[in-house]
Chains A and B, each alone.
Chain A
């Protein structure tokens, strides 16, 4: 099945706090996952990725956690800033596959 969602949920955080955005995926054959940030009127922007042989990967201010047992992915943003306000999507690519499937997305709103 495909994890596709409607009607984006919203996460509201205070500037400087940490944000955690969650994503559930459905295809156990997926072995590559990507988090994207999408600002209004723009295309998705790559944030960080992780392969299924890892359970954690860190970038600059961002960390992605992968729990294959429960098919769950999370994106942690440290010291959230107003510029982080956007919609965040997780996406998955199945093993040996070519097609990227997007999750439902979460709107992050950062309050100054």
Chain B
């Protein structure tokens, strides 16, 4: 079963509004979560690293004021796309670091992504 739950799976919003995406680790604590963005037919691009109880670390070129990340608990990180524009339309994917490698001994588990469409 899924070990990382991402919600919503799809969202359509109007330009100028904000959208919040949640990423939850199930049955394990994740001090570190990662947010990726994926455009059609392209690879996943790391946007930021979310650290529980501290500020997120953003990759070069990613606007921290536009993509707000909050990791207030050991099982939840949120990504808020503020004042969304059509160019923000993309597939956003989170992953959570599982230091004990509970599934497949893998240290990282991915959510099923959120398809954001800004009209």
Contacts and interface: CB of A to CB of B under 8 A. Distances in A.
Nearest to A101: B46
Contacts of B115: 41
Nearest to B94: A43
B93 A46 contact: no
Interface stretch (A1-9, A12-20, A70-78): A1-9
Interface in B86-107: 91, 93, 95, 97, 103-107
Contacts of A100: 34, 46, 95, 108
Q: In the complex, which of the residues A43, A49, A101 has the most CB atoms of chain B within 10 Å of its own CB atom?
A: A43
A44 B41 contact: no
| B interface bracket (residues with beta carbon within 8 Å of A) | 20 to 34
Contact of B110 (A5, A45, A101): A45
Interface of A is mostly: loop
Contacts of A4: 43, 45
A53 to B, nearest CB: 15
Interface in A34-91: 34, 36, 41-46, 49, 89
A6 B42 CA distance: 5
Contact of B6 (A43, A45, A99, A104): A43
Interface of B: 4, 6, 32, 34, 36, 41-46, 49, 91, 93, 95, 97, 103-113, 115
Interface of A: 4-8, 34, 36, 41-46, 49, 89, 93, 98-105
Given A44-B110, A102-B36, 15 more contacts: A6-B43, A42-B112, A43-B110, A43-B112, A43-B113, A44-B93, A44-B95, A49-B105, A98-B49, A99-B34, A100-B46, A100-B95, A101-B46, A102-B43, A102-B45
